[in-house]
Structure 1
Amino acid sequence: MPLGALRSTPLVEQATDRLRQQIVGQEWPVGTKLPGENALAQALGVGRSTVREALRALAGAGLVQARQGAGVFVISTTPEENWSTQLRRAAVADVYEVRMLMEVEAAQLAARRRTAADLTAIEAALAGRRSVGSGSTAEFVDADIALHAAVVAAAHNPVLTALFTEFVPALRQGLIGLVDLLGLRSHDPQHGDTGHAALVAAIIGGDPEAAAHSVREELNRTLAQLQAT
């Protein structure tokens, strides 16, 4: 399949996609040395810098590898999924198990490190969760996640915050399905309020062990329900 000149912007994305097609379609099998940057640039109708960025993207996807003094070679015809894609495809129970590892530690750190501003945000998030009342499942889940996000933020660990943020889309989708499937709010619109209140109280009181216990108990209950479905 000839490469062919590309259309207008975004050129890097187009170049990456065109080269990926060649590799995934096995026009260039594993072990193939790719044409040089000049040849690729001429075939695609772009500059060498665009080709260079495209090759970096392909390397990041695990498709090619640059070998010093030898060139760029195809090392796989199956792109690696990025972290966000893997999370979207993961079972909700698997996501929850990892979430528990993160949030138990986050709760302990939050109890130690929380500032006055953090406490204000956490209390407001708890009030927001309670205010949803008879709102939709999506509104309830969003308010619940907002409270947990406020706790994670109070841990003041940017890596932990970034990890939690990555989990949120998969977590939200799974929780909406779980709440509806099990009818968790049919008899109690404020499902889980007692546990969340205990978590907030522990963080306000600066009690790391109580904070960890509260979030562990809450997440364990939900995980048990997930595994039973």
Structure 2
Amino acid sequence: MTDIARSGTAASTQVVPNNGLAYTVLGRTVESEQVFDAVADHFDGVPDGAIDVVVDDLAPVAAREGVDSAVAFVDCLLKRFVGRVGRISMGCSFEIPVELLSRVGARADVVVGPDAEAVTAVERLSREDPTTFGYVRRHWVEAKRGIEMCDRNYPQSKQVHAALADPETTPRTLGATLSGMVTLGALETWGDTVGPTRYDLTAYRPKRTWALGAAIATGVSDD
């Protein structure tokens, strides 16, 4: 299903030959139940378990209607189709709120994304340095955004912080978060400096950061 149509609510369906794919375009303002009804139309005369349902990305729902609405969408999807389909797969881009990833992950039988090494690294940090882990757990998304917005190669935490608009962190708490990201292998420090730590943003690893964030958001506790 897609919401790329910009106007109207009429649905049109095309079947891609030989690929077993039915592609339905719905209006941008379509309600969740209309989406589910369009999906259910393809179940007529088909044995239970013969069709898989794929949600490409929950991020647009969360961005448009909020996290609670996106979670409600997932709950309704599961209620209507669990037992009727072979598998339900839901995608989440890493730009979504951590809360959404965490809440949807708790409803899934299997979370695919965080690799085993990333999970191990996060669990080790939570055990050995729970204070730093707490900062990373709460602020990794903002730290990621600050790193990617900062135009310096070797900034201090206050300079990364200055790149953020309306930050939740302070320079100190962001620095603690960046320090944790160094420990987790997403970032490096720049040499042995005297005074405030400088971070080597040329060594930033975005894919590693995403994997660590997924590990944090989908099951690692800071209790």
After TM superposition, the score normalised by the length of structure 2 is 0.29
- Larger strand fraction of residues: 2
Structure whose CA Rg is larger: 1
* Structure number having the greater helix percentage: 1
* TM-score under structure 1 length normalisation: 0.28
- Greater relative contact order (Cα < 8 A, sep 6+): 1
